[in-house]
Amino acid sequence: MRKAWALLSPTWLVLGVFLLAPLVLMLLVSFAERGPYGGVAPVRNLAEHVGSGAFLANYVRSLRGIYLMIGWRSLWMAVVTTALCLAVSYPAAYWLARLAPRRWKGLLLGLVVVPFWTSFLIRTYAWMFLLRSEGLLNLALSGLGLHPVELLYTQTAVLIGLVYGELPFMILPLYASLEKLDPTLLEAASDLGAGRMGTFWRVTVPLTAPGIAAGVVLVFIPSLGQFVVSDLLGGARSMLLGNLVQNQFAVARNPPFGSALAFELTAAVLVLLFAYAVFAKRRGGEVLP
């Protein structure tokens, strides 16, 4: 036991200093009020602050219609992003894992990861150049004699940016689980009378469920807190939770409210992760492929 502690102590130290301590700090700040000139106002009478329920003011405020709407929109965007990522990634991962020529596999997998070599911010800026009115996309469209489309600063542009950014996080776990899938099981299904569709839905999908679940978690959670994409590609009307939190710290200078919002987001994510862990455990499988 002493040995286990010794081996785990660096991890505990990192988690404690960089995760747990900030979380506690954030929770405490979320109970405070904004100072007259921004920042955190010092609490003069702790007993009264807690007794009057004033410490929950930020959480109460977060339930106002406008914030609920932003929260709902963020949730919806995250769901759609995850669904689109899954729809795009599954065929790609399937092809990579099962059909691609063996000697190309390493290279192709490398290409999935290549975008990480460039900063996400720069890649998102690149999308601005592609999507804006005189951007590459519209040049191509008008070159083909088609009507140009107004994409930049719309919800669609945010969605494109989100899906683009999260795609590798869906492809990789799907690839891992599809790679492990025993091809004789697919042959067995076909031998027993299942066509392509039957084999896919009754064998391939259930057996790659751990990969699907892992990809969904890896994509859904970051999409829920995203603010760079919506900031650069979205208009004023596509503000997401991430932007709202960032605004409270950087623009409104209201860390207590920002902390409350961030804490709610963190709690929501933890609930989702817990649900995922329960799901993974019930299947008797590993938590990540």
Partner 1 sequence: MVWSVETEDVRREFGPVAAVDGVSLTIRRGEVFSLLGPSGCGKTTLLRLIAGLESPTSGAIRIHGEDMTRVPAHRRPVNLVFQHYALFPHLTVEENVAFGLGYKGVPRSDFREKVGEALALVRLTGMEKRRPDQLSGGQRQRVALARALVLKPEVLLLDEPLAALDPNLRKEVQVELKALQRQLGITFLFVTHDQDEALALSDRLAVMSQGRVEQVGTPAEVFERPGTEFVARFTGAANLFEENGMRFFVRPEKLRLLREGEGLKVTVEERLYQGAITIWTVRGSSGEGYTVFQQNAGDGEDALFQPGDPAVLSWDERHRVVIR
For the CB of residue 120, give the shortest distance to partner 1 in the complex, in Å: 37
Closest approach, Cβ 192 to partner 1, in A, equals: 3
- What residues contact 46, with CB distance under 8 A and at least 6 apart? none
Placement of tokens 């950087």 in the chain: 250
Question: Which residue shows structure tokens 């949730």?
Answer: 75
Q: Residues 188, 192, 193, 194: what is their CA dihedral angle, to the nearest 10 degrees?
A: -40
Print the SS3 string covering 26-87: HHHHHCCEECCCCCEECCCCHHHHHHCCHHHHHHHHCCCHHHHHHHHHHHHHHHHHHHHHHH
Name which position in 10, 99, 193, 236 contacts partner 1 (CB under 8 A).
193
Burial of 278 (0-12, 13-18, 19+ CB in 10 A): exposed
Pick 101 or 193: Cβ nearer partner 1: 193
Rounded to the nearest whole angstrom, what is the least distance from the CB of residue 188 to partner 1 in the complex?
4
- According to CB under 8 A, which residues from 129 to 188 bind partner 1? 182, 184-185, 187-188
**Applying CB under 8 A, does 198 fall inside the site for partner 1?**
yes
Task: Give the nearest distance from C-beta 181 to partner 1 in angstroms.
Answer: 11
For partner 1, the closer CB: 83 or 287: 287
Q: According to CB under 8 A, which one of 76, 95, 150, 202 is a site residue for partner 1?
A: 202
Helix (H) or strand (E) holding 162: helix 155-180
To partner 1, the closest distance from the beta carbon of 172 in angstroms equals 22
Residues 6+ positions from 239 with CB-CB distance below 8 Å: 70, 73, 230, 247
User: Of the two residues 128 and 181, which places its CB atom closer to partner 1 in the complex?
Assistant: 181
Residue closer to partner 1, measured from CB, 40 or 209: 209
SS3 252: coil
Q: Using N-to-C axis directions, what is the helix angle for 255-282 and 21-30, rounded to 10°?
A: 130
Size of the site for partner 1 (CB under 8 A): 17
The verdict on 22 binding partner 1 (CB under 8 A) reads no
- Cβ of residue 57: shortest distance to partner 1, in angstroms? 50
Interaction between residue 206 and partner 1 (CB under 8 A) = yes
Which residues here bind partner 1, judged by CB under 8 A?
Answer: 182, 184-185, 187-195, 198, 202-203, 206-207
